[in-house]
Structure 1
Amino acid sequence: MMKLYEEIGASKNYLSVFQKAEKEVGKKSDGLSFQLAVLELGKQNFKDSSQILQDLVNRYPENEKLAYLLGMIQEKNGQAEDALKTYLKFDEKSDMYVVMRVRAFDLHKRLGRNEEALKVAQEAIDAKSDQSVVFYSLASNLLSSEGKNPEAIALVDKGLIEEPGNVELLFLKAVFLEKSQKMDQSVATLKEVIRRDPKHAAALNYLGYMYAEKNINLPEAEGLIKRALEEKPDNGFYLDSLGWVYYQQKRYKEAIVVLEKAFQLTNSDPTISEHLGDAYYAAGDAGKALIAYKIVLLCDDQ
């Protein structure tokens, strides 16, 4: 049965939801209907699976897990509006409130309805559920993606009032400050994140790469990024940061070794391709540099 769930793209968390929902369906005939819905889902027959689950939800309107599964299948079946109604059906007293609101936020965003997504996030924040802080992160990232970094910072600051010890929100603030060209404030905030959590790989790498980009504090940058790589040794983007430090230090051969590995780990990321091209060119290998730059152009065309 686990193989079936894996084939339909269900994670272990989804499997757990399936099992709990099945236990909560009381009548034997309804249990069979539930299993039939799962089988139809396994055959990628989202329409029939959706209809069967809809009938079950109509009979068990308070079963949050059935509703959650129905919403996911409605998404796959192209029933976006129905899925949104399903996800937004339960209030903050529901055990599934946060996960359903996250799905609704993400669905609105994928549909290009950013204002609606932000409204869902704000409603969840106002509800003050146990995990509502996650919506500060979601909403601020969305605002930043729209170039509204001052608004993103203001929202994160509100989240930090609720959870002053949340280093992830503090890290986001540092990122948004950097995007707002407030470098000194960003550096100070990143250092505070690292002070609170010396193994915060993302903050270590971000600060190190900021230094490398500006070609300043390179020995410190190298140390920071190596600490990040101790936590996540196969992170291609962290390796790119280290390679760029080496490049700035004119250690071109070392830069090439690290950047080639980063290139492989990230499936030819264009920024890393450009860094690799620069390193090849600086090392005197114009042929390989040209190939790397062509990859950048191909990525830009897509």
Structure 2
Amino acid sequence: MQKLIVRPLTAMIVAALAMPLALPASAQTGLLPPRTQSVTGAYLAGIAALENLEANRAATYFREAAESDWDNPIYAGQTFLSYLLAGRISDAASMAQHVLDLNPQDELARLTLGAVALKERRYASAESTLARIPEASLVGVTAGIMRAWSKVGEGDLPAANQILNTVGQGGFEEFLVFHRAVMADLGGDRQSAITLAREAYEMDPFIPRIAEAYIRILGNAGQFEEAQSILDSFAEEGVVHPVVDSLRDDIANQTRPGLFADNVQAGAAEMLHGLGSALARDGSSELGVGFLRLAAYLDPQSAVISLSLGELLSTAGRYDDAETLFASVPSSSPLFVNSLIRLAENIDLKGDRDGAISRLENLLTTYPDNIEAYGILGDLLRYDEQWAEAAEAYSGIINSIETPRPRDWRFFYVRGISYERARMWDRAEEDFLRALELNPEHPDVLNYLGYTWVDRGENLNEALDMIERAVELSPRNGYIVDSLGWAFFKLGRIDEAVEQLETAVRILPADPEINDHLGDAYWMAGRQREAMFQWRIAIDVDEEGTVTERAAPKLIGGLDPDAPILD
């Protein structure tokens, strides 16, 4: 069976995510003390709102509950958390102090007060507030890095590095290399900044934020040739990022591009942005949003933070909040076009796919070379089953590539899918083969081409070899295992087909097509009652009706029109 997937996460952030999270006591499980019905109702309404990240509405309910019982740490804590997630940092800070009066161990409340002190350049106060958070949790590590930034604010870079030495002992040293570089740059230690930025870049050469910082540090030091080599490496790899690309003119003209973080607040915001984005991708939405809200508070002009927070809220269904953030990116920002693309995606998630497609098509008339816009447009058209139009959009990307690189396999793959569904098989086959040339060991490509050949009755032996290799590469992918079973079925190797299709059904028991395939295999194996059972399951779980249309007649006559009807 044919399916598509993609996307990565940096290993050093993953290490951070493995640490225990110290959420506020309010967010931890606890017994709700008995209260009046109205207070309990407000509290429960707040919980329901917060689960959907409706933070402002949640704050209203929790505040109502808190005002009825001001010394209840649960009500106070949830009110604070809601204010934080809504980005109402002033209200959150006021409530955070009350939360700490009730529970001095609440780490997120103390982190928020530390961030406020840092924002207000009360560096000694920030350092002393944050120093009271143990470093055993991710919030504690975050507080430690923020403490280091407060020392940079005081002009004491050695003290900042001493704090980071302690923080790094928890397995964060690789993550901290980048932040040490940015601190050194702002603190005036140019040589250390270059050395550390080079180390961070060599560990992760195609992370845009790391590359941007390294290019800026080199450019500010007058090392334009080396900075240009970083830009050239991005171009050679086909990595496109507007912020990195925006540095090209400065470096080519030998103009100093300016600091990556031009103040302590922006530096601390970058740290919160990195951790918050990683947390959100790992499923810790509340803490991720909280970190990103603090990041936006510390650096309200950062377009990258606005986009990250907007994407998270859009994914969570908070479309209006996301739209506000996307629309806040100014036209002067290198990320302006990206914000327009995110707005279009947000419109699609709201349920207006036609509007999203129209917006992207209009955007491409103004920015005809934007590869990302072509890619998103192609995906939306493909999801909408406008196959020929999707293929045309993907062609906009492929036609712009002079010499395809291995990473470009996906463009040929998705265009191949679009051509295949548009019944333009010759073009589809050519694209699948090109994708395999670029990435010979990708299980999705091996599976899709192999499955389609099997379904068409073409190149069956070669198709079987390809699908078997795909299963070796991705043995727990039910769609690929289904393809192998179907290939055996088409080759008349029924016992092997049954074995593989049963495995596929165990992996994906609610997939209609896999159940239908297993029914066919059972029938050919002489297991007619089991075949009927599988076809009924296929029909029951089929939400689109396409498999039902194929499976329903089998309940009458099986695969043989003359077969007896089985009760």
Range of TM-score over shorter length: 0.7 to 0.9
Note closer, same or farther for the CA distance 1:120–1:301 as it changes in structure 2 (3 Å cut).
closer
Post-superposition Cα deviations, 1:93-128, rounded to whole Å, max 9, x if no partner, equal 757668756653432222121233235545379558
Residue identity opposite 1:83 in structure 2: A
Larger radius of gyration: 2
The reply to whether residue 141 of structure 1 matches residue 414 of structure 2 is no
The partner residue of 1:168 within 386, 405, 410 is 410
Cα distance in 1 for residues equivalent to 2:312 and 2:434: 43
How far did residue 250 of structure 1 move? 1.3
Cα distance in 1 for residues equivalent to 2:509 and 2:328: 40
The reply to whether residue 26 of structure 1 matches residue 119 of structure 2 is yes
Check whether the contact 1:208–1:221 (CA below 8 A) recurs between aligned residues: yes
How far did residue 203 of structure 1 move? 1.9
Check whether the contact 1:125–1:135 (CA below 8 A) recurs between aligned residues: no
The partner residue of 2:438 within 169, 174, 196 is 196
Cα distance in 2 for residues equivalent to 1:80 and 1:5: 29
Check whether the contact 2:511–2:542 (CA below 8 A) recurs between aligned residues: no
- Range that drifts further, 262-271 or 202-211: 262-271
How far did residue 240 of structure 1 move? 0.7
Identity between Structure 1 and Structure 2 (%): 23
How far did residue 196 of structure 1 move? 2.6
**Aligned to 1:163, what secondary structure does the other structure show?**
coil
How far did residue 268 of structure 1 move? 2.6
- Range that drifts further, 273-282 or 195-204: 195-204
How far did residue 140 of structure 1 move? 0.8
- Structure with the larger RCO, 1 or 2 (CA within 8 Å, 6+ apart): 2
After TM superposition, the score normalised by the length of structure 2 is 0.42
How far did residue 209 of structure 1 move? 0.7
- Range that drifts further, 241-250 or 65-74: 65-74
Which runs of 5 or more residues in structure 2 are unaligned?
1-16, 28-50, 53-110, 130-138, 143-275, 277-283, 545-567
Structure with the largest fraction of helix:
1
- Range that drifts further, 219-228 or 100-109: 100-109
Note closer, same or farther for the CA distance 1:291–1:134 as it changes in structure 2 (3 Å cut).
farther
Note closer, same or farther for the CA distance 1:267–1:107 as it changes in structure 2 (3 Å cut).
farther
Note closer, same or farther for the CA distance 1:26–1:271 as it changes in structure 2 (3 Å cut).
same
Question: After superposition, where does 1:1-302 map in structure 2 within 5 Å?
Answer: 3-4=20-21, 26-27=119-120, 53=293, 57=296, 60-64=299-303, 66-68=305-307, 70-71=309-310, 74-75=313-314, 79-90=318-329, 103-119=342-358, 121-122=360-361, 123=363, 127=367, 132-164=370-402, 165=404, 166-300=408-542
Post-superposition Cα deviations, 1:111-167, rounded to whole Å, max 9, x if no partner, equal 1212332355453795589xx534323211211232322221211111112234122
Cα distance in 1 for residues equivalent to 2:466 and 2:458: 13
Check whether the contact 2:313–2:319 (CA below 8 A) recurs between aligned residues: yes
Post-superposition Cα deviations, 1:47-89, rounded to whole Å, max 9, x if no partner, equal x97xx949x8578530335534653575488642231121232
- Range that drifts further, 172-181 or 258-267: 258-267
Cα distance in 2 for residues equivalent to 1:267 and 1:27: 56
Cα distance in 1 for residues equivalent to 2:534 and 2:472: 28
Residue identity opposite 2:321 in structure 1: D
Query: What is the aligned partner in structure 2 of residue 15 from structure 1?
Result: none
After TM superposition, the score normalised by the length of structure 1 is 0.74
Which runs of 5 or more residues in structure 1 are unaligned?
10-18
Cα distance in 2 for residues equivalent to 1:109 and 1:115: 8
Post-superposition Cα deviations, 1:153-184, rounded to whole Å, max 9, x if no partner, equal 21111111223412211111111111111112
Cα distance in 2 for residues equivalent to 1:137 and 1:104: 15
Residue identity opposite 1:140 in structure 2: G
